[in-house]
Chain A
Amino acid sequence: MESRKITVTVNGQAHTRDVETRMTLADFLRHDLGMTGTHVGCEHGVCGACTILLDGRTARSCLTLAVQTDGHAIDTIEGMAPNPKDKTAPMHPLQEAFRDNHALQCGFCTPGMLTTIIELLRDNPEPSADEVRIAISGNLCRCTGYQTIVAATLDAAKRLKAEGRKP
């Protein structure tokens, strides 16, 4: 099988690996780097569970080859909370808002929702409920009916504004 050496910066840390050229970015993150926070739900670019940030912009990691990301920067859900290993440390305001608003049930779509909403809040720090619904229209959730995800996003926008923070 054809492979290539690539260097990818994930959540600020550089990783150099030989990858099979046909491997998707989702599988590379999950299986080669062991970063299983990014989930795979459909592998044809519809469900959005595998959404990551590629050079700061959301992308479906199932529709991106790992080899295409050589030299690029990727952010995943694992990089969101300041101290992910510390169970009591506060998470990112968006994560906190998700918890406080019950914006997740099974949690499987959550990584893609969070990365998608991070980009939304960077583009549009004070979105309306309708704008949130459009922004997450490429992310399927079978549990929540989306209502609490919308509420959590609006809540997070408020928190970030109050803290004077960028998402």
Chain B
Amino acid sequence: MSAPSSPLRSNRVLRVEDPDLLKGSGKFVDDMHLPGMLQAAFVRSPMGHAKVVSIDVSAALEVPGVHRVLTRDDLLPHLATEFIVVGLPSPAYKQDINRPALSGLEVVHVGEPVAIVLADNRYIAEDAAALVMVEYDPLPAVGDPREALKPGAPLVHSSSPHNLLAEFDMGYGDVDAAFASAPHVFKESLWQHRGGGHSIECRGDVAAYDPFSETLTLWSSTQTPHAGRSVLAGMLGWEEERIRVVTPDVGGGFGPKLIFYPEDVAVALAAYITGRPVKWIEDRREHFVATTQERDQYWDVEIAVDDNAKILGLRGSIVHDHGAYTARGVNLPYESAQTVTLAYEIPAYFMNVKLALTNKVPVTPVRGAGQPQGVFCMERMLDRVARELKLDRAEVRSRNLITAAQMPYTKPLKSRGGRQVVLDSGNYPACQADALAKAGLADFPARQAAARAEGRHIGLGFANFVKGTGRGPFEPVTVRVDPASGKVNVYSGATAMGQSTKTMFAQIVAEQLGGDISLINAKPGDTGSIAMGLGGFNSRLAVMAGSSAHLAAIKVRDKALLIASKVLKLPIEDLHLIGGRVEAKSDPSKSITLGQLAKSVAGVAGFVLPDGVTPGLEATEHFVVDDMAYANGCAAVEVEVDAETGGVHINKFVIAHDCGAVINPMVVDGQIVGAVAHGIGNALYEWMGFDDNCQPVTTNLGEYLLITAPEVPFIEVSHHESPTYLNPLGVKGVGECGVVPTAAAIMSAIEDALKEFNVFIAQTPITPGEIVAKIEAGRKSA
């Protein structure tokens, strides 16, 4: 099914997004200004858990320039339901815990919105928000998910019977038998933390209600406009037609912008209630307390191997911090548990997964979505096996990796949508060998010994990963030739948030329609221009929307040629598309532009269309695929650890990866490198901390450390291409891949650098102070 790549498609094509962004003429949501627009600020809970006794807005209303302050009571009359129901379906739920638009009865995390203040500008809105008097009656809070599941723990919601949000088991084979007879069993407890999304643009909305057409428009910095429209329509009890959600330029997504938030509802309703446009731009402090995060998972795992380090089984349990509400569902730990086994042959597997409610901001995917944790678990266990059995780490992997000859390889696992997990293509051992060769494994022992002689500690580590990409079932795309301009418009619910989506569309569509990228006008992320869509997440857009665009463009091309043959009275075989026109191969003076062709089928009252041609030069495709395309790779990293300060310096980072056919190698490199940097941040810097009362302790960018340029090494990317048979382009997703193996590879490298101290790292992130403590402990035990 995969098509050969064309010069246009597999080339390093410069991005169509760039000129506007480089000249300061991008259009982000905060760049919008509508006449009469009010600016919003939210009043938020300062407590981890409390009853709301009363809310007094009178002082706030007296501030000059303040127009309204809306609380839950003001919103309720306009809502069919006050709850934002966004959890993905699963039989694993023990309870439904959905967020209200504004909280008015009980607040369950710091940052939960309880009122929205509308004023002439944001300065005044913040002045007034500070004057909204909310009386709280504090309740006990619980932040550690393991504590939350213990009997007698404080209840996250006082109306819940317990804090277990969901529980499920995953696995196959006779795992107990495998362990019972195994010659070697090794056990570890892992703590894995990931942080916030921290797109440099925070969230934001502008909403306007038009009483004439009775429609509400919400411009939102979201990854999922269609889902947003659907949720909002459901909550308001309106027809979806009355709501349009538009994504302007989005300054980064990274996961948290994929869901619909209380603020989105409140801003939309505020515009409806006041009759004035309303803008709310999240500030960074709000981003820390109100935007979803990925946080803690606690793993207890054991691995069974034979004397040759062949894996016999793996089993364990995960406790997952879910936060205070369901903002996406069970998907995160599901992906964590599923990712563990993907790259390797594991005869028996069992994982029990518990999702614990905590009094903290809800958890949703951040770039990587649980999968780095699965890889971390597997790779840490394999390093342990290598160390215990005194075998080479690469050799242990090689004995267990699934090989190219075994592809497609059926895993006895089901995706969260119930589909069989089938690894479609890839050469995992080749990626490992390539990454290790490029990282200089061959002479590393000599270099390590030489460094050690100088008192320096260098180490080499690596990790394999396999990641499901291109989540289905579909992402519709319309390709339409504009009769007036002759430009080709591309519409989709696929949202652009920096991953070069417009360029991807332009390349794929131009390939079929004459090769001129400047004629393609991609307008993704507007519910007003295409009926259905899912949005941008799970490394899916090139796979899903790209395939739809490809098929739609072929249809438009075929139709253009058909119409042209009628109009020019030439056989189709003599025609081809060049630039914006159809031209006769035999006589290039005979041609017709795409615009003229579109006009000829746009319809003139009473006149017939050319024989056999249907109306409109356009096509909509809903390429459907249910199976995931599995990308893979291996990251290898060399670090130097200052054994006195615990400082880690990355000397070299190589990632060999395979995302199938490549549409634009420049863009793929950019996605991989950016995601690796994110992964380095997860391994060594990012930590979202809370104290015992569930107060966040890292709420500014001085305390919460995002990686900066000096800490990022040069990252070498090596492309492998194993096209998938699952879609006509042969592509797999790439946006998240670089994150997935990075923390595991770095911990492996630190351990290798410090092997004389017998350091084992069972956590991410790790701080310099913790490294020093481990060295000290190792020294003492030696």
The residue among A105, A109, A129, A149 with the most chain B CB atoms within 10 A of its own CB is A105
**Cα(A146)–Cα(B714), bound, Å:** 9
Which of A31, A43, A77, A141 has the most C-beta atoms of chain B within 10 angstroms of its own C-beta? A141
Q: A43-B284, A136-B709, A143-B674 are in contact. Are A49 and B23 (CB under 8 A)?
A: no
Residues in chain B near residue A130, CB distance under 8 A: 710
Contacts of A34 in B (CB 8 A): 33
B18 interface neighbour in A38, A49, A98, A144, Cβ under 8 Å: A98
Contact across chains for A145 and B673 when beta carbons are under 8 A apart? yes
Specify which of B499, B678, B702 is in contact with A105 (CB 8 Å cutoff).
B499
Interchain CB contact under 8 A, B709 and A150: yes
Q: How far is the CA of A95 from the CA of B22 in the complex (A)?
A: 6
Q: Which residues in B have their C-beta under 8 angstroms from that of A30? A: 30-31
Q: Are B24 and A38 in contact (CB under 8 A)?
A: yes
Residue in contact with B676 in the complex, picked from A77, A84, A99, A145, CB distance below 8 Å: A145
> Hey, what's the 0/1 contact readout for A126-158 against B, CB within 8 Å counting as 1?
000110111011111111111111100000000
Give the distance to chain B from A52, nearest Cβ to Cβ, in Å.
Answer: 11
Question: Which chain B residue has the least Cβ–Cβ distance from A49?
Answer: B200
Cβ of A161 within 8 Å of any chain B Cβ, yes or no, is no
**B679 nearest CB neighbor, chain A only:** A145
Q: Take A23-B123, A47-B200, A146-B712 as given contacts and tell me if A102 and B667 are in contact as well, using a CB distance cutoff of 8 Å.
A: yes
Closest to B702 in A: A46
Q: B14 within 8 Å of A by Cβ?
A: yes
Given A39-B28, A145-B674, the answer on whether A114 and B22 have CB atoms closer than 8 Å is yes
Instruction: Tell me how far the C-beta of A26 lies from the nearest C-beta in chain B, rounded to whole angstroms.
Output: 11
Whether A41 lies near B201 (C-beta < 8 A) is yes
Choice from B28, B251, B670 contacting A102 with Cβ under 8 Å: B670
- Whether, in the assembled complex, A81 has its beta carbon less than 8 Å from a beta carbon of chain B, the answer is yes
Q: Are A91 and B22 closer than 8 Å at their CB atoms? A: yes
Report whether over half of chain A's contact residues are helix, strand or loop; otherwise say mixed: loop
Q: Is B708 an interface residue, CB under 8 A from the partner?
A: yes
Contact B284 A36 (CB under 8 A): no
Minimum CB–CB distance from A67 to chain B (whole Å) comes to: 14
**Structural contact, A147 and B25, CB atoms closer than 8 A:** no
Q: How far is the CB of A59 from chain B (nearest CB, A)?
A: 17
Q: In whole Å, how far is A126's beta carbon from the nearest beta carbon of chain B?
A: 18
Q: How far is the CB of B126 from chain A (nearest CB, A)?
A: 11
Bound Cα distance A109, B674 (Å):
14
Contact of A106 with B250 in the complex, beta carbons under 8 Å: yes
**Complexed CA–CA distance, A165 and B298 (Å):** 57
Contacts of B201 in A (CB 8 A): 39, 41, 106, 108
Q: Which of B676, B678, B710 counts the most A-chain CB atoms under 10 A from its CB? A: B710
**Smallest distance from the beta carbon of B518 to chain A beta carbons, Å?**
9
Known: A78-B24, A142-B200. A102 touches B666 (CB 8 A): yes
How many residues of B sit at the interface, in one of the four size bands? Answer: 35 or more
Q: Are B498 and A106 in contact (CB under 8 A)?
A: yes
Residues of B within 8 A of A107 (CB): 17-18, 21-22, 26, 249, 251, 498
Complex contact B712–A37 (CB within 8 A): no
Bound together, the chains give a CA A117 to CA B693 distance in angstroms of 43
Contact yes or no, B709 A137, CB < 8 A: yes
Structural contact, B710 and A137, CB atoms closer than 8 A: yes
A47–B669 Cα distance when bound, in Å, is 24
Q: Is A104's CB within 8 Å of the partner chain B?
A: yes
- A87 interfacial contact with B, CB 8 Å: yes
B677 at the A/B interface (Cβ < 8 Å)? yes
Q: Does A20 contact B (CB under 8 A)?
A: yes
| Cβ-based interface call for B199 (8 A) | yes
Given contact pairs A102-B670, A107-B17, A41 touches B284 in the complex (Cβ within 8 A):
yes
Interface residues of B in 22-50 (CB under 8 A from A): 22-26, 28, 30-31, 33
Question: With A136-B709, A148-B673 as given contacts, are A106 and B200 in contact (CB-CB < 8 Å)?
Answer: yes
- Against B, the Cβ 8 Å flags (1 = close, 0 = not) of A21-52 are 01100000011001111111111101101000
Q: Are A99 and B709 in contact (CB under 8 A)?
A: no
B19 at the interface (CB under 8 A from A): yes
Which interface residue of B14, B200, B499, B702 has the most chain A CB atoms within 10 A? Answer: B200
A95 to B24, CA, bound (A): 11
Most chain-B CB neighbours within 10 Å: which of A30, A31, A146, A150?
A146
Contacts of A114 in B (CB 8 A): 22
CB distance from A115 to the nearest CB of B (A): 10
Tell whether A55 is near chain B: CB-to-CB under 8 Å.
no
Check if B23 sits within 8 Å of A84, measured CB to CB: yes
A77–B507 Cα gap in the complex (Å)? Answer: 28
Known: A23-B123, A106-B199, A136-B709. A144 touches B19 (CB 8 A): no
Known A-B contacts A106-B497, A148-B670; the reply to A91 vs B23 at CB < 8 A is yes
Task: Please indicate the chain A residues that have their CB under 8 angstroms from the CB of B202 in the complex.
Answer: 41
| CB within 8 Å for A137 and B18 given contacts A108-B251, A142-B678 | no
Identity of the chain A residue whose Cβ is nearest the Cβ of B281 in the assembled complex: A40
In the complex, the answer to whether A133 meets B23 with C-beta atoms within 8 Å is no
Q: How far is the CB of B453 from chain A (nearest CB, A)?
A: 26
The reply to whether the CB of A110 lies closer than 8 angstroms to some CB of chain B is yes
With contacts A100-B14, A143-B674 taken as known, whether A91 is within 8 angstroms of B19 at the C-beta atoms is yes
- A76-101 Cβ-contact flags toward B at 8 Å (1 or 0): 11101100100100010001001110
Chain B, 183-211, contact with A by CB distance < 8 Å: what is the 0/1 string? 00000000000000011111000000000
How close is B447's CB to chain A, nearest CB, in angstroms? Answer: 21
The distance from the CB of A2 to the nearest CB of chain B, in whole angstroms, is 12
Most A CB within 10 A of own CB, among B18, B19, B249, B702: B18
Shortest Cβ distance from residue A46 to the other chain B in the assembled complex, whole angstroms: 4
B254 at the interface (CB under 8 A from A): yes
Across the two chains, which residue of chain A brings its CB closest to B250?
A106
Find out whether the CB atom of B498 lies under 8 angstroms from the CB atom of A105.
Answer: yes
Whether the pair A104, B21 counts as a contact (CB closer than 8 A) is yes
Task: Report which of B254, B673, B708 forms a contact with A147, defined as CB distance below 8 A.
Answer: B673
B339 within 8 A of A: no
**Distance between Cα atoms of A49 and B708 in the complex (Å):** 13
CB distance A146 to B200 under 8 Å? Answer: no
Does B2 count as interface, using CB distance less than 8 angstroms? no
Q: Is the CB of A146 within 8 A of B669?
A: no
Beta-carbon nearest neighbor of A150 in chain B: B709
The answer to whether B23 touches A77 (Cβ under 8 A) is yes
The interface residues of chain A lying within 8 Å CB-to-CB of B31 are 30, 36
Query: Within the assembled complex, what's the spacing in Å between the Cα atoms of A29 and B283?
Result: 18
How near does chain A come to B291, taking the closest CB pair, in angstroms? 13
Q: How far is the CB of A10 from chain B (nearest CB, A)?
A: 12
Whether a CB of chain A sits under 8 angstroms from the CB of B706 is yes
Q: Give residues of chain B (659-683) contacting chain A, Cβ–Cβ below 8 Å.
A: 666-667, 669-670, 673-678
B233 to chain A, nearest CB (A): 28
Contact with A along B722-746 (1 / 0, CB 8 A): 0000000000000000000000000
Interface residues of B in 628-677 (CB under 8 A from A): 666-667, 669-670, 673-677
A residues less than 8 Å from B500 (CB atoms): 105
Do the beta carbons of A37 and B23 come within 8 Å of each other?
Answer: yes
Contacts of A36 in B (CB 8 A): 24, 28, 30-31
Q: Which B residues are in CB contact (< 8 Å) with A141?
A: 200, 709
User: Do the beta carbons of A147 and B714 come within 8 Å of each other?
Assistant: yes
Inside 8 A of B670's CB, which chain A residues have their CB? 102, 105, 143-144, 148
Q: Is the CB of B30 within 8 A of A144?
A: no
The minimal Cβ–Cβ distance linking A98 to chain B, given in whole angstroms, is 6
Contact indicator B673/A44 (Cβ below 8 Å): no
CB distance from B366 to the nearest CB of A (A): 11
Task: Return the contact of B677 from the options A35, A44, A81, A146 (Cβ within 8 A).
Answer: A146
Binding site for B on A (CB under 8 A): 20, 22-23, 30-31, 34-44, 46-47, 49, 76-78, 80-81, 84, 87, 91, 95, 98-100, 102, 104-111, 114, 129-130, 132-134, 136-150
Instruction: Give 7 A-B contacts (CB < 8 Å), ordered by A residue.
Output: A39-B28, A44-B700, A105-B252, A136-B709, A137-B710, A140-B708, A142-B678
B interface residues (Cβ-Cβ under 8 A, vs A): 14-15, 17-19, 21-26, 28, 30-31, 33, 121, 123, 198-202, 249-252, 254, 281, 283-284, 497-500, 666-667, 669-670, 673-678, 700-702, 706, 708-710, 712, 714-715
